[in-house]
Structure 1
C-alpha cells in the first residue's frame, strides 16, 4: 500500500523514534523518513530522555514496553519538561487489550498505534500532527511578535476583564504605575485610573480621555488613555493604552507662557503706534499730501490687523490654559443682534454684501445671560467670514429662534461652501482653506478656533452645514441662559 504523500513542511520537523528492538526501530524510521521527516533514534528510555533534552524533537514515537525505563515513565517525564512547547507523544504497543493504552493516555500520551505498524495509518497520523505543529508554530510566531510589540510599546497597555480587573499589563505599564506586574494583576482598574469614564464606551468604540493616573506608591501622573473593547467567550474585555503626557503638558505650559509674554510685549507698542497714527490722521491731516495720508491710513489698518491677531493669540492661549474669564450679564438679545449687524455694515459694504436679520417674534422681548464682548466677538467672526466668502450682491443672514427653551443663532452665507478636504481642520488654529484668493480675503485662521472655544466656554455648541449653495454656522446656547422681559 502506498505511503501518504508527505507535507512540504515535514522536512522542518523531526521525529524521535524510541524502541528497544533495533529492527522495529529501523523499520519505523524508514517509514517516517519517506514521509519527509527527519529522524532521531533511541534504543531505551534513558537515551530517549537525553535526546529529547538535547535535540528537542517535534514528535515522539514511543514503544511502551522497554526495560529499565518504560514508555509510561518516559511519557510523564517528557510532558513534565515540555513547557509551553507542545510535543505530541504517540505510544506504540503490541499487547492485546486497552488497559495499557488507557494507562498511557493517563500519563498524558497524545495518541497510540498498535504493532505491527501500518505505514498508511502512521503516515496519516504524522501528517495530521505536522499540520497541527505548523499551525502551532505560526501561532507562536504571531504571539511572540505581539508580545514584542506590546512589551516594547512606548505606551502602557492594560487588558481588563469583564469585572473591571486587570488581567494583563506590559513593561511600560509597570513603569507608569510604579509597581511590578504581579502587584498589578487582579487589581481594579479604578484603583489606577480612578476618573476613567467607561459608560457607553463599548458602544462608542475607540476613544481617548485625559486624566490623572495613580501609581501604587500614591504618585499621580497626567496621562492620555485610549479605550477600546474586544470580545472573548462572548464577554467584553477592555484594552486601555496609557500614554504619559507630563512632558507634553510641560511643553504646552512653556508655549503658553511664551505666547502670553510675547503677545503682551507686542500689544503695548502696537497700541502706542495706532494711537500716534490716529493723531496724525485726525489732527494734522492738512499738513500731508494725498500720498502721505494714504500711507498713514494703510499703516493704521495694518497695525489694527496686527493688534487683532495679537488679541486672538491671547484668547487662544487663555482658553488652552483654562483661564478665559467671562463677564456674564443679562442683555437684550434683539439689541445685541442689531448691534452686531450695525458694527459690520461697513465691512459688508466693502465686500458688496448685505447683512439682514431674520428674528423670530419672541426674540424682541428675550434677554440672554452672556458676556457682551465675547458674544460680539463670536458674531463678528462668523459675520465677517460670511461676508468674505459671499458673492458680490449676496446676502448674509443672521437668524435667531428659540426651540425647547434653547436659543439657536445662525449665520448663513451664499458662498461656494467649505471644501470637503478642509472640513476636518475647520476649527483648528491657523488653518485656512487653500484657494486662489486666500491672500486677498486675508485672515489669521484663528477666528473659527476662537469662536468654538468661546461658545464652549459659555456651555454652548457650534455646528455647521455646507453645500455649494452656501454655509450655515449655528450656535446653540444652554438652557437657562434666556429669560423673557415682562
Structure 2
C-alpha cells in the first residue's frame, strides 16, 4: 500500500489518471445499466407495436376485400357483367389468404374471437349468401335475390362490419396502451439517468477540489515567486524544493537553476539585442521593397490569367451563345468593368450581358439605332464617355457618382461593324493605352465570330444533308478512300443497331464486321466491299444479300465520289427489295402455274374438238367427248372467275347479297357436286346443332365450301373420308372441313392464305392449282364478319375451320304466329324517312312491323298488339312524351314491362338507357341490318326461356321446302 502511495505521489499525471479512471468506471457502469434497460424497453415496445400493426394491416386488407366483394356483388346484380362476378371470387381468395396470415398473430382472446367471427362470416357470405344470390340472379329470380337480402343477408354484413370496426378500435387501444407503458418506462429511465449525472457531477467536484489542493496552491506560490523575479526583486529560496517529489518539485528546482543561468547571460543578451534592432530596421526596409515587387508581380499574373481566360473562352467552343457569354464575362474581368454587353448586328440581335438587368438589356437593344450606338456604327472608332449616375443606379449612395462607359466596335474582315461592345466601370476612367489594348482584344473577338459563322454555315449544311439522308427510306453510307465511315443515315444505323452519332469515323473493318453479322452470304459481300473500295477498275456496282433470321432481301449499290478527277470516297445505298423479290418469285411461279392450268384443259378441248371434226364417231362417244369438253370449259371458266374474284375483292368492288341462310343445305349441295368428281372419297356431315342460320351471300358461301371441300378431295390423292362438322361455339357457328390427306408443313401455315402461294412440295406440285382458292375463301369469310383458321399434321390430314356469326332462327310450323309474317315489332320514330328504312329492313327479316310518331299512340298500340320488341327513339317531336317517358311508362305497366326495348337515338346515353331497362342501345347512324341482328339476338335469349319464337325469312322457308 505504501508503494502504491509513493508511486502516485511521484507524478501528478498518475494521480490525475487514477482519479479520472475511477470516475470513468463509475460513469460507464451506470450508463451501461441505464442503456441496457432502455434498449430492452424499446425492443419490447417495438415487438408489440409490430404485431399490432401487422394485425391492423391484415384487418384493413379484410375490410378492403369484403368491401370490394360487396360492391362487385351489387355491380353484378345491377348490371350482370361477368367481370364483377369474377372479381367476387378473387376477393374471396384474398379474404381466405388474409385470414390465414392473421391466424398466427391471434394471441389474445379478442384476436381469436375476431378471427373466428371473420372466418365464419366469410364462409357464410361467399359459400351461402353470394352463391345463392348469384344463382337466383342468373335464373332471373330478382325477387328471390331481394328476399335473400331481407332475410338476414344485409344484417349479417352490417354486423360483421361492426365487428370489424370494433376489433380495429381494440387494436388501436392496445397500441395506445403499449405506447403509454413505453413512455412511462422511458420517463423512469430518464430520471435514473439524471440521477446518475448528478452523482457523476458530485464525484467530479470532489476530484476537482482534490486536484486544486494538490496543484493550485503550489502553482500560486510558484507564480508569485516568478513574478517577483520578473520584476527584478531580490531572489530567495523556493519553499517547494524540499516538500515535493512530483513534477512541481522538479519544476521548482529546474527554475532555480534557470534563474542562475539567466542572470549570467542577461548582460550578453542586452548587447546582442541592440545589434539585432539595428539589423531589424535594415530588414524591414528590404521587406517593404520586396512586398512592392511581389504586389506588382501578382497584378501582372492576374492580368495574364484574365487574358488567358479570354483567349480560351474564344477558342474552346463553337456555340455562339457560349462564346458571347465568355467574351462579355472575361472582357469585364480584363477591363475591371462592373458591367458590360455585346450585341451582334444580325437579324436575331444575338447578345450577352454581364451585370445588367433584363430591362436594361432590352432597353439597349431597342435603342441600338440611335444615340451612342449610332455614333459607333458611323465612325467605327472606339470612344469613352463619362456620365453622372442617376438615382436609379446609385443604390444607397447619396454623393455624386460617375460611370465611365467604353464602346468598342467589332470589325469584320471587310471592315464592317458586325458587333457592338459596351462596358462600364465606376472605379476610374479608361486610359488611352487601355483603349488601344482593348481594341486589339476586339480584333480577337472578330476572328472568333468569323470562325463561329463559318462553323454555323457548315453545320447547317451538314444538318440539312443529314436530315435529307435520314428521310430517305434506303440505308445510305458515305466512306472515304480508306473505308472510314464519314456519314450514315438513321435507316442504316437502325439496321446495324448502332447510334448514328457514335458510328461516325468508324474504321472500315469495324463497320464491315457489323454488316457481315447481319447477312447470309458473308464471304461474297466481303469480297464485293473490298473490290468496290480498293479496286477502282471493278465494274460491279451492286450486290444483293439476304438478312439473317429475317425474310429480307437487300440490294446494295456503290457509287464513287470525285472532287475534280480525284476520287475521295464512296457512297453505299442499301435498298430493301424484299417485296420486289417476292413478287418476282410469285410472278415466275404464277406464270408457270397458269400456263400449266390453262394449257391442260385447252389441250383437252382442242384435242377432242379436232377428233369430232375429223372423224365420224358413234353417238355415245360423241357424247363422252362433248362431256369432257364441257367439263374442261367449266374448269377454264372457274379459273378465270377466280382471277376476276380476286381482282374485285382487292379493288373493293365485290358485292354481296346477304340474307338469312341455312348453312346445311349449302354444304350438302356442294358435297353432292363434289361426289361426281371422285369415287375414292367418302363424305360425312356431322351436325351437332340445330341453330345453323347465318346472314350471308348464298353463292359466295357456296364458293367458300366448294374451295375447301375440293381442296380436301384434291390433297387426299389416296382417298379417305372428308368430314364436315357443324357446331356452335359461343355466338359463332363453326364449320370444320376435315380430310385425311397429305397435311401441311408448319412453315407453310403463315402463307397459306396468300395469293398464288403453293406449298413447295413435289407431291403437291403434281396435283396442280393456282393458289387462289384459299385467298378467295379468306376474303369472303372476312366480308361475312367471320374468320378461317387451319390446323394440320403432315401425313395425317388438315382441318379448316370457318367461324361465322350465328343468327338464332328457328322454325315452328305448328305455330299460328308463323303462318302470317312472323312476330310483330313496333317502331317509335318521328323521322318518317328513317322509320320507313327501319320498317323495310325489319320486314325483309320476317317481322310484322308498325311505326308511330307519337308516344301515347305507340303505348296504346303496344297494349293492343303485345309486340315481341319495340324500337324506341328518345327525341320525339310530336306529343308531350319523350322516349324516356315511353320507356318509364312501359316499365311501370305490368303488361308491357317484359317487352324488350331497343333504343335508337343520336344521343350517346347508353348507360342511362340500360339502367332504365332497355335491352340494347344503338347510336345513330348505324347499319339497318345491325338492328335486325340485335332484335334477333334479344328474341333468341327469350326463346331459350320459352317466351317467344324468332321470325323466319321467306328465303329460309324456300330452303326448308327444298330440303324436305
TM-score class, shorter:
0.3 to 0.5
Higher relative contact order (CA 8 A, sep 6+): 1
In terms of fraction of residues, the more helix-rich structure is 2
Structure-1-length-normalised TM-score: 0.44
- Asked which structure has the greater CA Rg, the reply is 2
